[in-house]
Amino acid sequence: MKRRVVVTGVGAVSPVGNDAKTAWENIVSGKSGVGPLTRLDPEQFSAKVAAEVKDFNIEKYIERKEARKMDRFTHYALASAMMAVEDAQLKIDETNADRVGVWIGSGIGGLETLETQFETFQKRGYRRVSPFFVPMMIPDMATGQVSIYLGAKGVNSCTVTACATGTNSIGDAFKAIQRGDADAMIAGGAEAPITRMSYAGFCANTALTTNPDPNTASRPFDLNRDGFVIGEGAGIVILEELEQALNRGAKIYAEIVGYGSTGDAYHITAPAPGGEGGARSMEMAIQDGELKPEDIQYINAHGTSTDYNDKFETMAVKTVFGDHAHQLAISSTKSMTGHLLGAAGGVEAIFTVMAIKEGILPPTINYETPDPECDLDYVPNESRSANITAAISNSLGFGGHNATLAFKKYE
């Protein structure tokens, strides 16, 4: 018999707030975290805007000496995980450490560290390369450091599936609890991709918007969308087996009931025509959750503000939901956060469970000119009250990775 799994804690560092509560309040109010590019020289690139984390200080969480041994993506993951554990009031000690796991992914990992250390190597030779270079760079180190700092000794893994990373990580962690491999999991995604080479690469493949106005640059499902805004941060959730959560009196945001994961087998960057891979992922999550398509009332869409993604995701929704596609609400919170790549699914899972718990649909801002090929209810520009009993969150990644999580109001 499948064990039931619930979300009992959330933590985030994001362009719209450096904790989950602030991020959610800003999302609901339609406040964007997109601004002028400041981490890099915008004159060197075709894209001029980014969704940067602001006023974040890792020394609130760990000592400066230790922080210097970590890349920024690990800083974001560690801070978010600490906040999520505190939010869940989950005590990890010798009585349960081996039943608490960590599953945090990163699509790119420590690319900033790679760039700076390679520059040091070129200028000064290998002897001046930091001995912490490799453990700072590798994507699994967010999971490793969270495990070390919080004392979680259970299932310990890292997923790397590009923009589907955070969603896959939470889904895989959910399955670990459901089948009995763990009783609690610290799960999500972390990313710090606003670096010289990353930004250059995304500009070169024309994935980023060239709209220089931060206020309108990220416009998912709008006819005038022209690319995504790159973002950074982390989103971490605490998943627990239901009986354990109830026995310790934990608050419950929502129940996670389904997980879908598929491959397009089509193209390295473009989604499969009609979004057929994403459609199968949604169908899998709904079936896994023992739901019917008409049970779903809200979708937190991948919604990147790119031409093909938004069009094909809309087509996928119509394939899965039929006539019900026009009855459910869809929003892309990337209109405010930008695209956090491997962290997107973690942050968006938080927004999805908050929508269920608070009864509020976050908006898709900057929706001004309807696209005839994107003709569903995208909750344009203003949030909306709604009693949501079931919702899904989608993530679609380069390489043809598709992942979907299904959540229900806990009853």
Question: Which residue of the set 75, 158, 339, 374 is catalytic?
Answer: 339
pTM of the model: 0.98
Q: How many C-beta neighbours within 10 Å does residue 399 have?
A: 15
**Residues 2, 241 contacting (CB under 8 angstroms):** no
Question: Residue 359 — φ and ψ, nearest 5°?
Answer: 70, 40
How far apart (Å, rounded) are the C-alpha atoms in residues 83 and 77?
A: 10
How far apart (Å, rounded) are the C-alpha atoms in residues 261 and 278?
A: 9
Enclosing H/E stretch for 51:
none
Tens digit of pLDDT at every position of the chain (411 positions): 899 999 999 999 999 999 999 999 999 999 999 999 999 999 999 999 999 999 999 999 999 999 999 999 999 999 999 999 999 999 999 999 999 999 999 999 999 999 999 999 999 999 999 999 999 999 999 999 999 999 999 999 999 999 999 999 999 999 999 999 999 999 999 999 999 999 999 999 999 999 999 999 999 999 999 999 999 999 999 999 999 999 999 999 999 999 999 999 999 999 999 999 999 999 999 999 999 999 999 999 999 999 999 999 999 999 999 999 999 999 999 999 999 999 999 999 999 999 999 999 999 999 999 999 999 999 999 999 999 999 999 999 999 999 999 999 998
Q: How many C-beta neighbours within 10 Å does residue 172 have?
A: 19
User: Which pLDDT score, from 0 to 100, does residue 186 have?
Assistant: 99
DSSP string, 286-334: HHHTT--GGG--EEE----S-HHHHHHHHHHHHHHHGGGGGTSEEE-TH
Active site includes 75? no
Rounded alpha-carbon distances, angstroms, from residue 348 to 175, 331, 399: 19, 11, 21
User: Which pLDDT score, from 0 to 100, does residue 390 have?
Assistant: 98
Contacts for 390 with CB less than 8 Å, ≥ 6 apart: 289, 291, 295, 296, 297, 406, 407, 408, 409
The CA-based dihedral angle spanning residues 241, 247, 253, 256, taken in that order and rounded to the nearest 10 degrees: 20
User: Which pLDDT score, from 0 to 100, does residue 347 have?
Assistant: 98
User: Which pLDDT score, from 0 to 100, does residue 1 have?
Assistant: 81
Burial class (CB in 10 A: 0-12, 13-18, 19+), 27: buried
Q: Which domains does the chain have, with CATH numbers?
A: 1-398 (3.40.47.10)
How far apart (Å, rounded) are the C-alpha atoms in residues 271 and 351?
A: 24
Question: Which residue of the set 75, 163, 374, 401 is catalytic?
Answer: 163
**Residues 219, 225 contacting (CB under 8 angstroms):** yes
User: Which pLDDT score, from 0 to 100, does residue 374 have?
Assistant: 98
Cα–Cα–Cα angle for 146, 51, 310, nearest 5°? 100
Tokens of 121: 């190597």
User: Which pLDDT score, from 0 to 100, does residue 249 have?
Assistant: 97
User: Which residue, among 84, 96, 101, has the nearest Cα to 253 in the 3D structure?
Assistant: 84
Active site includes 302? yes
Active site includes 339? yes
Burial class (CB in 10 A: 0-12, 13-18, 19+), 4: middle
